[in-house]
């Protein structure tokens, strides 16, 4: 990447963060129902057109869902030629990583937590985005499972991909809800969810270092391993 491209990317990220921070500030001060795209854009000193280059809606801006990395994550995971040594663990980590890729870097978890607990429809927006990509997630996981010798036929492999993705999305929803209710909340969203660029290895210790999440994920992984074994 050239210096010019690097500067351009930094400016784009600064605009992304500014729009999210502004939207969240307005929502906490005035309530999400009074916030408009125009207000966010004016407060961040950008045009409405620029706003929609970064976010699909005001709700996405408030909770910090940008999704800029999700397409890259799907491509990287599906194009890898490395067989999944532990399909359950690695798919669970991929789903968490995918969720993290939708979050604006450095987003304040405690402030997002407050606005989402006060306005449950905002939390549902996070889950809706992941569910909306369910079919693409299944196809991506199925592609990676094809590199293993664990399945007798294509149908068995496809069924396993379906089970892994759907139960992982359900686990994500349940875990995030429980974590939002817990006292051991981290400082930023990336403290709660591994960032897409983090170096995730193949041990449980690579999962989020957050007691509430670790406990639930550990139980879930054990159950799911038994389910597909």
Give the range among 71-85, 109-123, 194-208 with minimum mean pLDDT.
194-208
The candidate with the shortest Cα–Cα distance to 57, out of 32, 79, 80, is: 32
Residue 129 has pLDDT above 80, yes or no: no
Greater confidence (174 vs 162) lies with: 162
Among the candidates 37, 61, 85, a domain finishes at 61
Residue 156 has pLDDT above 80, yes or no: yes
- The confidence score (pLDDT) of residue 194 equals 43
User: Are 99 and 166 members of one domain?
Assistant: yes
Q: Are residues 109 and 48 in the same domain?
A: no
Burial 174-194 (b: 16+ CB within 10 A, else e): ebbeebbeeeeebebbbebbb
Contacts of 88 (CB under 8 A, 6+ apart): 164, 221, 224, 225, 228
Say which residue the tokens 């000193």 belong to. 45
| Residue scoring higher pLDDT (47 or 165) | 47
What pLDDT score does 205 carry? 32
Q: Are residues 74 and 139 in the same domain?
A: yes
Q: Are residues 106 and 165 in the same domain?
A: yes
Residue 158 has pLDDT above 90, yes or no: yes
* Distances, alpha carbon 195 to alpha carbons 121, 127, 211, in Å: 24, 18, 18
Domain match, 119 and 208 both: yes
Is there a single domain that holds both residue 130 and residue 47? no
Whole domain around residue 25: which residue ranges? 3-61
The pLDDT mean for the chain works out to: 80
- Of the pLDDT bands very low, low, confident and very high (cuts 50, 70, 90), residue 229 is low
Find the farthest-apart pair of alpha carbons in the chain and give their distance in angstroms, rounded.
58
| Mean pLDDT (whole number) for 187-195 | 47
| Residues 139 and 26 both lie in one domain | no
CATH number of the CATH domain containing 8: 1.10.10.60
DSSP-assigned states of every residue in the chain: --HHHHHHHHHHHHHHHHHHHHHHHHHHHH-GGG--HHHHHHHTT--HHHHHHH-SSHHHHHHTB--TTHHHHHHHHHH--S--SSHHHHHHHHHHHHHHTTBPTT-BHHHHHHHHHH-HHHHHHHHHHHHHTHHHHHHHHHHHHTTSS--SSHHHHHHHHHHHHHHHHHHHHHHHHHHHHSS---SBHHHHS--TTS---SSGGGS---HHHHHHHHHHHHHHHHHH-
Same domain, 49 and 71: no
Indicate whether 214 and 101 sit together in one domain.
yes
- What is the domain count for the chain? 2
Check if the beta carbon of residue 19 is closer than 8 Å to that of residue 66: no
Least confident interval from 13-17, 37-41, 127-131: 127-131
Together in a domain, 52 and 151: no
Q: Structure pTM? A: 0.70
Pair 107, 64: CB distance under 8 Å: yes
Mean pLDDT of 19-33: 96
57 & 72 share domain: no
């Amino acid at each position: 990447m050239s210096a010019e491209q690097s500067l351009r990317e930094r400016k784009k990220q600064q605009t992304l963060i500014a729009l999210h921070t502004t939207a969240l500030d307005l929502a906490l001060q005035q309530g999400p129902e009074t916030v408009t795209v125009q207000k966010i854009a004016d407060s961040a000193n950008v045009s409405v057109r620029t706003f929609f280059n970064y976010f699909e809606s005001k709700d996405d801006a408030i909770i910090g869902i940008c999704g800029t990395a999700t397409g890259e994550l799907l491509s990287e995971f599906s194009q890898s030629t490395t067989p999944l040594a532990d399909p359950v663990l690695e798919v669970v980590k991929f789903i968490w990583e995918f969720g993290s890729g939708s979050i604006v870097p450095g987003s304040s978890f405690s402030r997002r937590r407050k606005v989402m607990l006060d306005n449950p429809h905002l939390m549902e927006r996070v889950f809706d985005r992941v569910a909306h990509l369910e079919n693409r997630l299944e196809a991506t996981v199925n592609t990676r499972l094809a590199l293993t010798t664990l399945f007798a036929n294509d149908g068995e492999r496809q069924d396993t991909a379906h089970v892994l993705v759907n139960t992982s999305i359900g686990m994500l929803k349940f875990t995030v809800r429980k974590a939002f209710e817990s006292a051991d909340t981290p400082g930023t969203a990336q403290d709660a969810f591994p960032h897409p660029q983090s170096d995730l290895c193949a041990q449980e210790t690579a999962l989020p270092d957050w007691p509430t999440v670790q406990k639930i994920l550990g139980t879930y992984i054990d159950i799911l391993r038994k389910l597909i074994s």
